[in-house]
Amino acid sequence: MLKSKIFMVLLIVVTLLILLVPACGKEKENTPVPTATPVVTATPMGTAILTPTPMVTPTATPTSSPVPGGPVKIGAITSWSGPLALAGVSLADPIIKLVEKQVKDQGGILGGREVKVVRYDNRGTVAEAVAGADKLFREDEVSALVFGGVSSTEAAGVAGFAEKNQILFVAYGTLEKPAENKFTISATMGARPHFTNAIVDLAIKVLKPKTVAIMGFDLWENHDRFQAYREGFEAAGIKVVSEQYTPFDLSDYSPYLTRVKYANPDMLVLDYPPSEPYLSIGKQMMELGGWGDMKVVGLPGAETAKRLPGVDGMYFISLWFPGDTYPGSVKFETEYKAMNKGATPSSTQVYYYNCLWTVIYAIELAGTTDRVAIGQAARSGNLEWDSPMGHAHYTLEQEGYPGLTPKILRLEGGKSVLVTIPE
């Protein structure tokens, strides 16, 4: 009986095991279903494969030329704030508006595209001038650069950037290494011998001094010109009795002017490219008792101070003067007056005008906004146009200068009068 009971229990256990095995098997077959979810993670992996594409774009941008279409952008660097803000606010801005309008009125360039000048305020420093060139090049994607600041050191910094990055730069002033530049040209004449010869000629043929004093910024271009002045004056028997270099950011010229008065020269050469020094010097010399019989000669920036009694009678050298009958001059003066309520442009403003139009003609000559092509066109020997200063032609022999001839003007009663230099 006991055996029968044991047998029955074993039979029940075996039966239960047989019934449970298929159920367990079915449970194992269903377990892979949830694991299918991770397989969907292949989709994000596919997205990740695309991420290198946007990463490539920023790297290519700095070295690529502007994308065709829309306005042609030109980057302008000078002072719009600080002690030399006059350069941007009063001189460059009216010219920028004029040139943008002139291009629009003529139907654009490169088949109808307008010109847009993008400004960068470098506050009169070399570091900011170079930073501005970099920003205009990489972020604003301009086709060329102009002005470069108000000093040769600022322009030299921008020229270095232009050469390295192969973008045309048209400088407001003289070039430090014209023969070595491949992408830099100037809107003015070569400082030596053009400026210096004209001033020496004025001294020898018109003013006839026995003694001369020279003042200017402590910059490489001033040192270079001072040497040329000395050579020219001494060869003519004129003695240089005072030679002073002033800091670039100077506002009080009284100590230097006092030394000039003590030396008592017959003639004083003020070698300052921007306008601000002439405003300060004119006022401060009047406080010191005036010029007396001393003849004073300056650079184009002197004209800005023409209504000060302290500069009346001053001579200055320039490439342009109001009333010039050359066709390019008439166009410049007439259209400037029309935009500025009859106001006459200054002799300094013509350099800003020349910078912008030189770039525009270089772009037209290249037939594209490709930066390298524009730079090559500018230095090809084929770039020429009728500027307000005369026919500008950037021949290979000129090494980045337009081959223009300077003029001597005299400030009389707030006006600029042409001075004839005898042959």
Q: pLDDT per residue over 404-422, tens digit each?
A: 888 899 998 888 889 999 8
Could you write out the three-class secondary structure of 313-366? CCEEEECCCCCCCCHHHHHHHHHHHHHCCCCCCCCCHHHHHHHHHHHHHHHHHH
Confidence band for 176, pLDDT divided at 50, 70 and 90: confident
Of 268, 294, 318, the residue that ends a domain is 318
Say if residue 236 is in the same domain as residue 281.
Answer: yes
Tell me which residue range forms the domain holding 169. Answer: 72-189+324-404
CA dihedral (291, 297, 302, 305) in degrees, to 10, reads 20
Residue 216 lies in a domain: yes
Helix, strand and coil content of the chain, in percent to the nearest 5, comes to: 50, 15, 35
Q: Is 409 left (phi over 0), alpha (psi -120 to 50) or beta?
A: beta
Of 318, 338, 369, the residue that ends a domain is 318
Residue 256 lies in a domain: yes
Say if residue 272 is in the same domain as residue 215.
Answer: yes
Name the average pLDDT for the chain: 84
Residue 300 lies in a domain: yes
Residue 247 lies in a domain: yes
Any idea what the CATH number is for the domain that residue 133 is in?
A: 3.40.50.2300
Burial 400-414 (b: 16+ CB within 10 A, else e): bbbbbebbbbbbeee
Say if residue 246 is in the same domain as residue 361.
Answer: no
Strand partners, 171: 147, 186
Asked if residue 184 lies in contact with residue 373, where contact means CB atoms within 8 angstroms, the answer is no
Say if residue 133 is in the same domain as residue 179.
Answer: yes
Say if residue 294 is in the same domain as residue 351.
Answer: no
The residue whose two tokens read 């300056």 is 298
Say if residue 106 is in the same domain as residue 217.
Answer: no
Q: Which residue has the higher pLDDT, 287 or 20?
A: 287
* Rg from Cα positions in the chain: 36
Asked if residue 146 lies in contact with residue 78, where contact means CB atoms within 8 angstroms, the answer is no
- Counting the structural domains of the chain, the total is 2
What does the pLDDT look like over 33-65, one tens digit per residue?
333 333 333 333 333 333 333 333 333 344 456
Say if residue 119 is in the same domain as residue 262.
Answer: no
Residue 138 lies in a domain: yes
CA-based nearest residue to 405, from 198, 148, 128: 198
- Residue 288 pLDDT greater than 70, yes or no: yes
Angle made by CA atoms 349, 172, 193, in degrees to the nearest 5: 105
What does the pLDDT look like over 126-153, one tens digit per residue?
999 999 999 999 999 999 999 999 888 8
Say if residue 334 is in the same domain as residue 286.
Answer: no
Residue 25 is predicted with a pLDDT of 39
Asked if residue 114 lies in contact with residue 103, where contact means CB atoms within 8 angstroms, the answer is yes
Average pLDDT over every residue of 111-130 = 96
Say if residue 250 is in the same domain as residue 363.
Answer: no
Say if residue 307 is in the same domain as residue 386.
Answer: no
Average pLDDT over every residue of 311-316 = 90
Name the DSSP letter for residue 109. Answer: B
Dig out the tokens for 411 from the structure.
């400030």
Residue 332 is predicted with a pLDDT of 97
Say if residue 276 is in the same domain as residue 263.
Answer: yes
- pTM here is 0.76
Of 318, 336, 358, the residue that ends a domain is 318
Average pLDDT over every residue of 385-394 = 94
Say if residue 336 is in the same domain as residue 400.
Answer: yes
Residue 251 lies in a domain: yes
Residue 22 lies in a domain: no
Residue 213 contacts by C-beta under 8 Å, 6 or more apart in sequence? 240, 241, 242, 243, 244, 260, 263, 265, 267, 268, 269
Least confident of 231-235, 320-324, 340-344: 320-324
CA-based nearest residue to 352, from 323, 370, 369, 332: 332
Residue 80 lies in a domain: yes
Could you write out the three-class secondary structure of 55-88? HHHHHHHHHCCCCCCCCEEEEEEECCCCCCCHHH
